[in-house]
Amino acid sequence: MLNSPEPAENLTIYIALILFAVLALALTIILLFFVSRKKISQKKLEAQALKLKHKSDLIIYNIETQEMERQRIAQDLHDDIGSQLNLISLGLHRLQKVGSKIEQEETDAILLLTEGVIDRVRSLSHELLPPILEKFGLIAALQEVEFNYNKINSIQLNFKTNIDDEDIYVDLSRRLHLYRICQELIQNSLKHGKAKCIRMSLLGQNDTLILSFNDDGVGFDVNKLDSGKGMGLMNIENRVEMLHGTMSIESELHEGSSFQIRLPKLEKDERDH
Ligand SMILES: Nc1ncnc2c1ncn2[C@@H]1O[C@H](COP(=O)(O)OP(=O)(O)O)[C@@H](O)[C@H]1O
Ligand SMILES: [Mg+2]
């Protein structure tokens, strides 16, 4: 005959069962806690990525509209205001030949002023959109930059290239982006780095275009850049992204700064546009 378990034994079984249930519940709660924490941090990461993407989309949009505006203003200045000023200058030249001595002297003065304004309008429109970029390309434009900076005695700018046919690497919009990047890098070197010597090169290596930029300025802490990045470097990063390229920055305090930008070669159909 089978013996039914003693009440004390029953109690032990109940306690064990309850303990097991409590343990299972605790484990489930801990598991749920970790799963939901992971989900929350994943959601946070996603939200952060979305925010970054939105910010970079906005900057890209700003860069594009800014370039379009610059182009429009440069054209208006050159074609509209420039040509009207030229007409005024022609009229003044005609007036110079007639009229009394006093009138001629006054016309001279106005003519001088008008020619000054014509020069200013021309250089302003060239600053906004350097015509050399469109007419002769990026290499010529950078050589012109090199020439102009070397006119200033205290600065030495050296530009090197090995590219014969830049059409393989750049179309007009790429030229403009790379040109603006170089402008900003030079300005930063002079303004923040107080550099005296800048070396810049644009080299083609198989399927890659490499823009290297080095200065002998005071340098900066690259690790602190995330919080200290201004519009200039952010615009450079976004232009590089628009060109599907990559950028690396190396700098140390008192050791100068160097930047390297690598861009893929243009596809055949991009070149044909
Ligand atoms: N060539 C450089 N030499 C020294 N510091 C630099 C150089 N380039 C960038 N920096 C540092 O990076 C910061 C961000 O530059 P940037 O984004 O162009 O902003 P901004 O020129 O408007 O201050 C600068 O304030 C400066 O501290
Ligand atoms: Mg800057």
Evaluate whether 89 touches 118 at the Cβ level (below 8 Å): yes
CA of residue 230 to ligand 2 center, whole Å: 7
Residue 78 counted as domain residue: yes
- Residues 96 and 204 reside in one and the same domain: no
Evaluate whether 238 touches 56 at the Cβ level (below 8 Å): yes
The beta strand positions in 151-256, using DSSP E, are: 156-161, 197-205, 208-215, 246-251
- Residues 118 and 150 reside in one and the same domain: no
Which tokens sit at 129? 């959109």
Instruction: Name which residue sits closest to atom 18 of ligand 1, judged by CA.
Output: 232
- Residues 77 and 178 reside in one and the same domain: no
Q: How many domains does the chain have?
A: 2
pLDDT, tens digit (0-9, with 9 covering 90-100), for 41-80:
999 999 999 998 888 788 888 888 988 899 899 989 988 8
Of the candidates 128, 157, 178, which is a domain's last residue? 128
- Residues 144 and 98 reside in one and the same domain: no
Domain that holds residue 84: 8-128
- Residues 12 and 124 reside in one and the same domain: yes
Residue 99 counted as domain residue: yes
Residue 43 counted as domain residue: yes
Instruction: Name which residue sits closest to atom 6 of ligand 1, judged by CA.
Output: 192
Of 139, 143, 132, 145, the closest CA to residue 167 belongs to: 139
pLDDT value of position 154: 86
pLDDT value of position 230: 84
- Residues 89 and 121 reside in one and the same domain: yes
- Residues 135 and 110 reside in one and the same domain: no
The rounded distance, in Å, linking the Cα atoms of 67 and 249 is 25
Residue 72 counted as domain residue: yes
- Residues 72 and 145 reside in one and the same domain: no
Q: How confident is the model at residue 30 (pLDDT cuts 50, 70, 90)?
A: very high
Of the candidates 128, 162, 180, which is a domain's last residue? 128
CA of residue 81 to ligand 2 center, whole Å: 31
CA of residue 225 to ligand 2 center, whole Å: 12
pLDDT, tens digit (0-9, with 9 covering 90-100), for 141-168:
999 999 999 998 789 999 999 998 888 8
State whether the beta carbon of 180 lies less than 6 angstroms from ligand 1.
no
Q: How confident is the model at residue 4 (pLDDT cuts 50, 70, 90)?
A: low
Amino acid at 106: E
pLDDT value of position 100: 84
Residue 105 counted as domain residue: yes
Evaluate whether 195 touches 158 at the Cβ level (below 8 Å): no
Can you give the CATH number for the domain in which 257 is found? 3.30.565.10
pLDDT value of position 95: 87
pLDDT, tens digit (0-9, with 9 covering 90-100), for 214-272:
999 999 998 887 766 788 998 899 899 999 999 999 998 889 999 999 999 887 677 65
pLDDT value of position 46: 94
Res 104 pLDDT > 90: no
Res 10 pLDDT > 90: no
Q: How confident is the model at residue 98 (pLDDT cuts 50, 70, 90)?
A: confident
Residue 180 counted as domain residue: yes
State whether the beta carbon of 245 lies less than 6 angstroms from ligand 1.
no
Which tokens sit at 15? 């306690």
- Residues 169 and 209 reside in one and the same domain: yes
- Residues 143 and 253 reside in one and the same domain: yes
Res 105 pLDDT > 80: yes
- Residues 152 and 254 reside in one and the same domain: yes
Residue 198 counted as domain residue: yes
State whether the beta carbon of 183 lies less than 6 angstroms from ligand 1.
no
Of the candidates 128, 151, 174, which is a domain's last residue? 128
Report percent pLDDT > 70 for the chain. Answer: 95
- Residues 124 and 175 reside in one and the same domain: no
Residue 55 counted as domain residue: yes
Give the mean pLDDT of the chain: 90
